[in-house]
Amino acid sequence: MADSTVNTGASGAPIRVLTALGSGSGDQQVVTLADSAGNLLAPAKVSTAGAVTSTAAATASVAVLVANTARLGALVYNDAGGTLYLALAAAASLTAYTTQVPPGGLFELPVPYTGIITGVWSAAGGFARATELT
């Protein structure tokens, strides 16, 4: 089977599909993906564990999740009566934040991020229920 190039994604970035067949009748085809420069593309890592934590709602910035280089993803559920202002930064405030999570709302990290996640609420009472995937 010959190598080929396909365009994928919204950007149309080309990906080379490199294939090789074994010489025996029971051999399997091996497929390797590379970018247009020939750099091999690593398969996506898959989470094998989740750790659940609860952080009490506060009107001053608190750590919801500490930095973790092993983090592959995270979800934060706002189990409080006030709006949760989350920041992918060392501190969150009601005017400097990454996103707002309404009461009963869920935030999922949209990109890989291993730094600290902080939060502050518009009113105390309740919890942030975080699940960190590693």
Which CATH number belongs to the domain containing residue 59 in this structure? 2.60.120.770
73 occurs within a structural domain: yes
Report yes or no: 132 and 77 within 8 Å, Cβ to Cβ: no
Report yes or no: 134 and 115 within 8 Å, Cβ to Cβ: no
Position 35 scores a pLDDT of: 72
How does DSSP assign 35-74, residue by residue? ETTSPBPPPPP----EEEEEEE--SS-EEEE---TT--EE
Vertex 38: Cα angle to 33 and 8 (nearest 5): 50
Position 88 scores a pLDDT of: 98
Phi (first) and psi of residue 85, to 5 degrees:
-100, 110
Shared-domain flag, residues 111 and 61: yes
Domain that holds residue 115: 50-133
Cα separation, 75 vs 106, whole angstroms: 7
Cα separation, 4 vs 31, whole angstroms: 11
Q: pTM of the predicted model, to two decimals?
A: 0.70
Shared-domain flag, residues 77 and 116: yes
Position 1 scores a pLDDT of: 45
Residue 93's alpha-carbon distances to 58, 78, 116, in angstroms, are: 11, 16, 15
94 occurs within a structural domain: yes
Report yes or no: 67 and 112 within 8 Å, Cβ to Cβ: no
Shared-domain flag, residues 28 and 54: no
| Tokens representing residue 54 in the block | 């609860």
Per-residue pLDDT of the chain (134 residues; tens, 9 = 90+): 455 554 554 555 665 555 555 555 555 556 666 777 777 766 678 889 999 999 999 999 999 999 999 999 999 999 999 999 999 999 999 999 999 999 999 999 999 999 999 999 999 999 999 999 99
Shared-domain flag, residues 112 and 71: yes
Shared-domain flag, residues 17 and 82: no
Closest CA to 64 of 116, 115, 125, 126: 116
77 occurs within a structural domain: yes
Shared-domain flag, residues 30 and 54: no
Report yes or no: 134 and 53 within 8 Å, Cβ to Cβ: no
